[in-house]
Structure 1
């Protein structure tokens, strides 16, 4: 059965953020903050002694930008806003689903919160693990050489 809910067509962006907040609070996360700027959406929170920040690129529809705002009348602007909200809500719903799955794995003991959200751990200096590691990983693939990660650990 495929209804509007499963397609993400009738579930608002705000409802998805509330779902994310409830799931994180249920897990014990604190300091939950949401943000959105341009084509980026974000959620930040604290949990298990760590800070996390997930930044996502919001899905954009080609149709959303087909109408130039300088020539659009009220109806066309409204249509553009509707298309943007539809694509925006799909992004937030996908993030809510991903967070639910990660928290479910952590709650079941399959993983830890940190292992599920490792890429999103905020390090001193305000970069995430992903932001720090992405160029290292890219360089390793381009060079074919294993990257060095600090000092070798002693047995």
Structure 2
């Protein structure tokens, strides 16, 4: 199955601006974007909640960029960079789609803000709700037992 926006020509910088514009439209009062290595982040404050999305960007040295599919021929450095940039554009457009869809679901009354953004809400210690809950969900499913309502009871 093809990836969403796998042939997009929208530059990453334009997609970041589109994300900022859409969250402002829905009432965000803070916005930040940045990257470290192959990880990129978008953060914003909306409905008195801080939200953060982190996406893993592809590594430029991956074989899918360095070699052609099928014949597995080495691409030129310029062609490899072009393939990598395309993969980055695709990831950013997919993130834009996710954020826009969640905001529209909330605006349309299909869902509420916390349900749509729960996994990406930033907790007071800087971690995300999703990262905090995933191990607990795994434990409940693997054991089949719900934790006690109050610890030590």
- The two structures share one fold, judged by TM-score above 0.5: yes
Under a length normalisation based on structure 2, what TM-score does the superposition of the two structures give? 0.80
Aligned length: 140
Which residue of the partner structure matches residue 27 of structure 2? 28
Residues 112-139 of structure 1, C-alpha deviation per residue, up to 9 Å, x if partnerless? 2222101111011111101100111122
What is the root-mean-square deviation of aligned Cα atoms in Å?
2.5
Under a length normalisation based on structure 1, what TM-score does the superposition of the two structures give? 0.79
Structure 1 segments unaligned to the other structure (5+ residues): 67-74
Question: Which 4+ residue blocks in structure 1 deviate beyond 3 angstroms?
Answer: 5-8, 59-62
Does the CA contact (< 8 Å) of 1:137 and 1:147 recur in 2? no
Does the CA contact (< 8 Å) of 1:41 and 1:56 recur in 2? yes
Q: Does 1:127 align with 2:135?
A: no
Tell me the CA shift for residue 141 of structure 1: 2.1
Does the CA contact (< 8 Å) of 2:5 and 2:93 recur in 1? no
Tell me the CA shift for residue 32 of structure 1: 0.7
Gap change, CA 1:147 and 1:62, over 3 Å in 2 = farther
